[in-house]
Structure formats: structure tokens, C-alpha cells
Amino acid sequence: MRLGLLALVLLVPWIRPAPSAADAAGAAAEPGPPHPVSRVDLERYAGLWYQIALIPNRFQKQCVRGATAEYTLRRDGRIDVVNRCQTADGTASEVRGVAKVVDSRTHAKLQVSFVSFLGIRPFWGDYWILELDPDYRWVVVGTPDRKYGWILARAPELAPNVLEEIRRRIRAQGYDPEAFVPSPP
């Protein structure tokens, strides 16, 4: 009797009810990762971009206006990244990093690192180019988990009809457009 009781006690935590229809429907409704664009010309992509909107994050919390990202192609195939913004007290904040292409077929999936210890970069974050204007006037960048996202443009502001089109595309990528907060120029 004691052995049977012991076996029951040991097995109970491993016994799980079959998933309900609601659980199965919820799992099926979860979107997969967003889809990067089919091709990026990195030479055209390089240069200065103004941050139009972002999903707020901890590493940009000091930025209150004028956020930009500047990309410069390097001879080794990587990309220098310089992010700048103004803080509440009016001083400039700048962080430098490096991006590497992880999808050499499309150049739409990159990883970026802003941390270096003695020349070694132990931390890399995904940087996927999800939507891109054919004339490279604006871009939507995000991560596969949709935790981070940015709308960038070549000018400090975008026309309302362009922003509405971008919001439609963001929604189609599985993002909540309302999660993107406008960035003051």
C-alpha cells in the first residue's frame, strides 16, 4: 500500500490534463516571427536615419528628443552604428556599436552589439529590417519576439498618410501599432 501511495505521489506532478480546445486555439493563433524584407542594399541603407517612433525600451530611456541612428559600412563587411539623442538636460547622448549581417542572401537580418570588453563583443541583439520604402525614405526595424521596434526615416518627420501606411504594415507583421510611441524631433 505504501509503495502504491508513493508511486501516486511521485506521478501526480507529471500527470497533466489534455489541452482544452481554447488552449489549442490560443496556441494556433500566436503569430510566428515577423518577416524581414526580401532584399536590402546596404550601401543605400547606410547613412543617417531619424527615429520617428519606437517601442519604449530601457536603453533609450534617457532620450527625450532628436534620436538618430547612423550606419557606416566597413571594409570587413560589418557596419559601424552610432546612435545619438538629446537628454532632458539638453546634453547629447551617444552610443557606438557594430552590426553584422547574419543573412547574407537578403541582408535583412542583422545583429548589433553595443558592448565590447577588450575588443570582444559578448552580447548581440537581433536587428531585422521588416519594412523598407523602395526609395529608402523610411524603414521599420524590429526583433523576432516583437519586444523591440523602431520606425526610422531619412527626414525628421513623415507625412500622416505615410505613417498610416507604416502602421498598417506593422499590424500585418503582428505588432501592435499603438505600442510605437512617437519620438520628438
pLDDT in tens, 56-65: 999 999 999 9
Please state, in angstroms and rounded to a whole number, the distance separating the CA atoms of residues 43 and 164.
27
Residue 137 is assigned to a structural domain of this protein: yes
- Cα atoms in the Cβ-side hemisphere of radius 13 Å centred on 125: 14
Measuring CA to CA, which residue among 163, 178, 166, 177 is closest to residue 131? 166
Residue 142 is assigned to a structural domain of this protein: yes
Which burial class, exposed, middle or buried, applies to 88 when counting CB atoms under 10 A from its CB (0-12, 13-18, 19+)? exposed
Show the domain range for 88: 42-182
Are 128 and 157 in contact by the 8 Å Cβ rule? The answer is: no
Measuring CA to CA, which residue among 182, 176, 183 is closest to residue 34? 176
The fraction of the chain above a pLDDT of 70, given in percent, is 84
Residue 54 is assigned to a structural domain of this protein: yes
pLDDT at 29: 59
User: Which single residue is written with the C-alpha cell 524590429?
Assistant: 142
Supply the CATH number for residue 157's domain.
2.40.128.20
- The overall pTM is greater than 0.85: no
DSSP lists the bridge partners of residue 70 as: 48, 82
Number of neighbouring beta carbons within 10 Å of residue 108: 21
Residue 8 is assigned to a structural domain of this protein: no
Residue 6 is assigned to a structural domain of this protein: no
Residue 14 is assigned to a structural domain of this protein: no
* Strand, coil or helix: 79: strand
The confidence band for 30, taking pLDDT boundaries of 50, 70 and 90, is: low
Residue 125 pLDDT more than 50? yes
Are 129 and 144 in contact by the 8 Å Cβ rule? The answer is: no
Give me 154's grid cell: 531619412
Q: Number of structural domains, the chain?
A: 1
Residue 15 pLDDT more than 90? no
The lowest-confidence range among 9-18, 63-72, 79-88 is 9-18
Residue 12 is assigned to a structural domain of this protein: no
Q: Taking residues 127-155, what's their average pLDDT?
A: 98
